[in-house]
Amino acid sequence: MYYLLDKLNDNSFLEFGLKCFGFAIPGIILGTLVERVIERLKKEKNFSPVNLLFIQIFLSSVVLYIVQHFVSNRYAEEWQSTTPALLFVSLFFGVQSSLAKNSLEAANYYDI
């Protein structure tokens, strides 16, 4: 997939838009996948907010590691250098609404 995105340059609006979609869609899909796993764990297991937070951060790290090392290292490198690639990271974490909720609950759990 990244091979196709790499062939696009950001000079035209259409190519820029296609590149944005090429980064945004996987970010939404993978972030939603992590979110659903955490929501299922929350429903079916009795984990504390702290444990859920650690599991979510670990699972997010594993997904990002897999994308970087097994999908495309260059795709992951662009997260830090291009505007379209920023959409992947922002949407990956943005759709994980339980990340913020678990963070607040963990802080309250320890009275921070």
Q: Where are the domains of the chain?
A: 10-109
Count of Cβ atoms closer than 10 Å to residue 12 Cβ:
10
Structure confidence at residue 56 (pLDDT)? 93
This prediction's pTM: 0.76
Read off the pLDDT of each residue in 97-110 and give the average, rounded to a whole number.
Answer: 80
Task: Determine the Cα–Cα distance for residues 72 and 37; give it in Å rounded to an integer.
Answer: 24
Label residue 10 by pLDDT band (50, 70, 90): low
Average pLDDT over residues 28-35: 93
In this prediction, residue 92 has a pLDDT band, given cuts at 50, 70 and 90, of confident
If you average pLDDT over residues 33-49, what whole number do you get?
89
> Of 24-28, 76-80, 96-100, 101-105, which one has max mean pLDDT?
24-28
The residue among 63, 62, 56 whose CA lies nearest residue 105 is 56
pLDDT for 7 beyond 60: no
Burial of residue 8 (CB within 10 Å: 0-12, 13-18, 19+) is middle
The whole-angstrom separation of Cα 92 and Cα 89 is 5
6 vs 26 pLDDT, higher one: 26
d(CA 50, CA 47): 8
- Helix residue ranges, H only, 1-112: 2-7, 13-44, 49-66, 73-77, 83-94, 97-109
Q: Which of 45, 53, 76 is nearest to 63 (CA)?
A: 76
Structure tokens belonging to residue 112: 């921070």
